[in-house]
């Protein structure tokens, strides 16, 4: 089975130094009835002996809950990032893949805090770039550490070498969402680095500040060059020509993914034909920040 992305409408970009943010509207069937609230993702370490690459997540909502690849989790034995997106049934509890985003600490309590912070494109790409599927592996964990280490060496070391610490010093663009907006395309240093598309404006609203803060952090590593609208529109057109394939289980949803040339796309969808997109992330792997650190 292959799935195509519905048409995307791209608005005028707004630039802040090397960061340019383009609003996106999805011309397709919307998603309703889902809970996007990060605070309803209850996260704990594995019972008995914590495992770096695994966490236990629980849906504290009475509705199906979206937990996204790239969501950052503070606390536990170390700060983590969810490695694969999943749609949890009401009150469901299950083990999910994770990557460490805090180098060194391996102690503490069991519970994590989820507040909507997002991993940056460069760090998230390190999580997925070295594997054809979205199953965690040692190589991708090493790549994530290298990319966070780039912040440490170029922007200044933090006490815990945590992605979340670096985000504390990154102020996102002072932008507000536009009515009906369900996604963004991000330009950094004059080139599109990627984008995120949500199945509803509610999904974008839940992760909005986290997306902007993470993009602003990556932009601190790039030249202060704005990205032209033509590049964003070209990127959107490329997305709609990419055939997505069923990538396996994602709780109540299915993973979808594709790699074509320098374009890597992955996310989750529902429906008999997987035509109702919950969330998609896309990266242009030719961007200099997405090269191996």
> pLDDT category, 131, cuts 50, 70, 90?
very low
Whether pLDDT at 159 is above 90 = no
Report the pLDDT averaged over residues 262-291: 93
pLDDT at 129: 61
pLDDT at 107: 92
Within 8 A by CB and 6+ apart from 136, the residues are 53, 83, 97, 98, 99, 127
Residue 81: how many other CB atoms lie within 10 Å: 25
> pLDDT category, 138, cuts 50, 70, 90?
low
Q: Report residue 149: phi and psi, to 5°.
A: -60, -30
Q: Which residue has the higher pLDDT, 293 or 275?
A: 275
**Which residue, 59, 86, 136, is CA-closest to 270?**
86
Q: Give the tens place of pLDDT for each residue, 61-108.
A: 999 999 999 999 999 999 999 999 999 999 999 999 999 999 878 999
pTM of the model: 0.94
pLDDT at 48: 86
Within 8 A by CB and 6+ apart from 125, the residues are 147, 194, 264, 283, 285, 290
pLDDT at 1: 63
Residue 31: how many other CB atoms lie within 10 Å: 24
Whether pLDDT at 293 is above 80 = no
Q: Give the tens place of pLDDT for each residue, 180-226.
A: 999 999 999 999 999 999 999 999 999 999 999 999 999 999 999 99
CA distance 33 to 105: 38
> Mind giving me the DSSP string for the chain?
-EEEPPPEEE---EEETTEEEEEEEE-S----S-B--GGGEEEEPPSSS-BTTEEEEEE-SSS-EEE-TTBEEEETTS-EEE-S-EEEPTT-EEEEEEEE-BSS---S-SEEE--S-B--HHHHHHHHTT-SSS---HHHHHHHHHHHHHHHHHH---SS-BHHHHHHT-PPP---PPTT--EEEEEETTEEEEEEEESSHHHHHHHHHHHHHHHHHHHTTS-S-PPPHHHHHHHHHHHHTPEEEEEEEEBTEEEEEEEETTEEEEEEEESTTS-EEEEEEEEETTSGGGS--
Token pair recorded at residue 105: 């600490």
Calculate ∠ Cα 54-271-255, nearest 5°. Answer: 30
Whether pLDDT at 292 is above 70 = no
């Amino acid at each position: 089975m292959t799935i195509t992305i519905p048409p995307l409408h791209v608005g005028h970009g707004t630039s802040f130094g090397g960061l340019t943010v383009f609003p996106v509207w999805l011309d397709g069937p919307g998603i309703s009835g889902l809970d996007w609230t990060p605070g309803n993702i209850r996260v704990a370490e594995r019972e008995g002996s914590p495992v770096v690459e695994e966490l236990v997540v629980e849906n504290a909502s009475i509705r199906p809950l979206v937990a996204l690849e790239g969501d950052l989790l503070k606390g536990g034995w170390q700060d983590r990032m969810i490695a694969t997106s999943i749609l949890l049934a009401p009150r469901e509890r299950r083990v999910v893949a994770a990557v460490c985003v805090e180098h060194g600490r391996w102690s503490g309590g069991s519970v994590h805090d989820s507040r909507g912070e997002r991993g940056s494109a460069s760090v998230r790409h390190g999580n997925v770039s070295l594997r054809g599927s979205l199953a965690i592996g040692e190589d991708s964990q090493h790549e994530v550490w290298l990319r966070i280490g780039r912040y440490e060496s170029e922007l200044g070391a933090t006490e815990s070498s945590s992605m979340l610490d670096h985000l504390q010093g990154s102020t996102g663009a002072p932008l507000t969402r536009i009515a009906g907006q369900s996604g963004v395309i991000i330009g950094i240093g004059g080139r599109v680095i990627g984008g995120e598309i949500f199945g509803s404006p509610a999904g974008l609203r839940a992760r909005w500040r986290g997306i902007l803060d993470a993009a602003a952090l990556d932009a601190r590593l790039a030249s202060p060059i704005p990205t032209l609208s033509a590049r964003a529109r070209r990127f959107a057109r490329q997305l709609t020509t990419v055939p997505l394939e069923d990538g396996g289980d994602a709780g109540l949803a299915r993973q979808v993914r594709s790699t074509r040339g320098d374009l890597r796309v992955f996310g989750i969808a529902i429906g008999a034909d997987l035509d109702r997109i919950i969330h998609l992330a896309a990266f242009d792997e030719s961007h200099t920040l997405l090269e191996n650190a």
